[in-house]
Amino acid sequence: MSKLFYRAGFAVILAACAPSLALAQSADLVLCDRVAADPTDPDKPADIKGVTEIAASDVATAIKFCKNAAAGSRRAMFELGRAYAANQKTADAIAAWRKAADKGSTSAMVELGVLYATGAGVGKDEAQARKLFERAAAAGNPRGVSNLAALGDGASTPSDPARAREMLAKAAETNAEAQYQLGLMLADGTGGPKDEEGARALFQKAAAQNHPGALEQMGVFAQEGRGGPKDTDAAKAYYQRAADLGDENAKAALKRMQCPFAIKDKRGNLVTNLCF
């Protein structure tokens, strides 16, 4: 009887603790996302901005909370890999990314693919890199698409930007990063006809989702009147939003707008800007 009572009582205790355990797990993931989420990760919820690079002051926090959340979240496992990478612990980053990739994280597949393509921390293996990029691209990851195109079909075969453009067009139906990357291809005429109106429309869609690069590009297009009306005030607003999200190009563009006159030396090198 006492043994049966112990089991029943333990079950009651577990049931009572379950909500708090779930809450703790959720809190760990929230804090992990806050300091280590990747803006381009398709797994990232739309209301999370993400950070292009994990700040040095946040690395320890990221490792702590992402490690706590990683057991129940492939996104957290991927972000744990980012935290280890930011802490120069490549082996730990690779281990985390492999676990995340095994759980279906396409962003982890891309990161591993980059390492194999460059030979950073692992033996250089373009065949393995291609497999990882193909898996990510097939799942609609825009970085997987663009990296697969950049890698090409072999060591001596040029990449296929037309194929990348086609694959990005499908992913761009729902993904801000794909919209941004396809916009860049349309703006430059890479892989097909140049289409600045189309590029601007794609940048606008991604900018509406607070994509830093798309916001910066909208600033450029509005400032120069590319693909639509010229609007200096709108350009400043786009640059400011991108700068607030940490985009360095947008910060530089804002400074140039505030200080438009450049002083150069005899060789044409920039010395300083005059501000008024």
Q: pLDDT tens digits for 212-243?
A: 999 999 999 999 999 999 999 999 999 999 99
- Taking residues 243-264, what's their average pLDDT? 86
* Beta-bridge partners for 157: 154
Distance CA 90, CA 118 (A): 14
pLDDT > 70 fraction of the chain, expressed in percent and rounded: 84
**Which range among 34-43, 95-104, 117-126, 137-146 shows the weakest confidence by mean pLDDT?**
137-146
Residue 122 vs residues 35, 102, 116: alpha-carbon distances, Å: 27, 18, 6
Examine the pLDDT at 182 and tell me if it is beyond 60. Answer: yes
Residue 261 vs residues 6, 44, 125, 150, 276: alpha-carbon distances, Å: 80, 41, 49, 38, 9
Examine the pLDDT at 13 and tell me if it is beyond 60. Answer: no
Q: What is the pLDDT of residue 161?
A: 84
pTM, rounded to two decimals = 0.65
- Taking residues 178-205, what's their average pLDDT? 95
User: Matching CATH topology for 24-159 and 173-276?
Assistant: yes
Q: Where are the domains of the chain?
A: 24-159, 173-276
**CATH top class, domain 24-159:** mainly alpha
**Which range among 4-13, 206-215, 246-255, 256-265 shows the weakest confidence by mean pLDDT?**
4-13
Q: What is the pLDDT of residue 6?
A: 32
**CATH top class, domain 173-276:** mainly alpha
Q: What is the pLDDT of residue 273?
A: 64
Q: What is the pLDDT of residue 26?
A: 79
Examine the pLDDT at 4 and tell me if it is beyond 60. Answer: no
270: left (phi over 0), alpha (psi -120 to 50) or beta: beta
